[in-house]
Amino acid sequence: MPTIASIPAYSLPVDGVYYLMVTREGFSEGTTEGTYRLSLAGRPGLSGTNGLLEVFYEVPISGMIDAARPFESYIFAGSAGEVVTIELRRLSGDLDPLVTLFEGNKQIAFDDGSRGSNVALIEAFRLPADGIYRVEASRLDRVLGTSSGSFSLLITRR
């Protein structure tokens, strides 16, 4: 049975030339050999998004919140009536997570769990319109907050 390695979704941050390296485990010290097939699929990035990383339903994203970077913003394309759940989960540190959903510049939903919780959850939220939505992963009190750590962000729909 073939071994499959994949990167399920990744948005390139800027236009330009990128290189993809394919190798075996252990690189030059590895002992495996054989043939492989490489395929790339995707679509152009969303325009007018100021270089924000596009995320996709059911594909977890991880990141870090600290004093130097108190929040991370991501975008996704949504349709009117879709019901989404957005989960921001602390993976390390003392991060007190806060997740916020924006339509344009308008905040339309947020959750900070409860003080000291390791999960912030916007659950079963019905998107009001077709468009590009922004999700902000941050810490309680955003820039003024003091917690830090790594996180996982997952957006699902039913």
Counting residues of the chain whose pLDDT is more than 90, the rounded percentage is: 61
pLDDT exceeds cutoff 80 at 13: no
Decide which of 36 and 149 is more confident.
149
pLDDT exceeds cutoff 60 at 121: yes
Q: By residue range, what is the domain housing residue 90?
A: 53-157
Q: Does residue 148 lie in a domain region?
A: yes
| Local confidence band at 12 (pLDDT 50, 70, 90 cut-offs) | low
pLDDT the model gives residue 5:
74
The predicted model gives 99-110 an average pLDDT of: 97
Does the pTM exceed 0.85? no
Q: Does residue 3 lie in a domain region?
A: no
> For the chain, what is the domain count?
1
Angle at the Cα of 134 from the Cα atoms of 54 and 19, rounded to 5 degrees: 15
Residue 127 contacts residue 81 (beta carbons within 8 Å): yes
Q: Does residue 94 lie in a domain region?
A: yes
pLDDT the model gives residue 155:
97
Decide which of 26 and 157 is more confident.
157
Q: Does residue 25 lie in a domain region?
A: no
| Local confidence band at 11 (pLDDT 50, 70, 90 cut-offs) | low
User: What mean pLDDT, rounded, does the chain reach?
Assistant: 87
pLDDT the model gives residue 97:
97
CATH number at residue 129: 2.60.120.380
Q: 17-72: per-residue pLDDT in tens?
A: 777 778 888 888 888 888 877 766 555 556 566 768 889 999 999 999 999 999 99
Q: Does residue 5 lie in a domain region?
A: no
The predicted model gives 71-88 an average pLDDT of: 96
Q: Does residue 66 lie in a domain region?
A: yes
Q: Does residue 82 lie in a domain region?
A: yes
Q: Does residue 81 lie in a domain region?
A: yes
Nearest CA to 148 out of 66, 87, 60, 42 is that of: 66
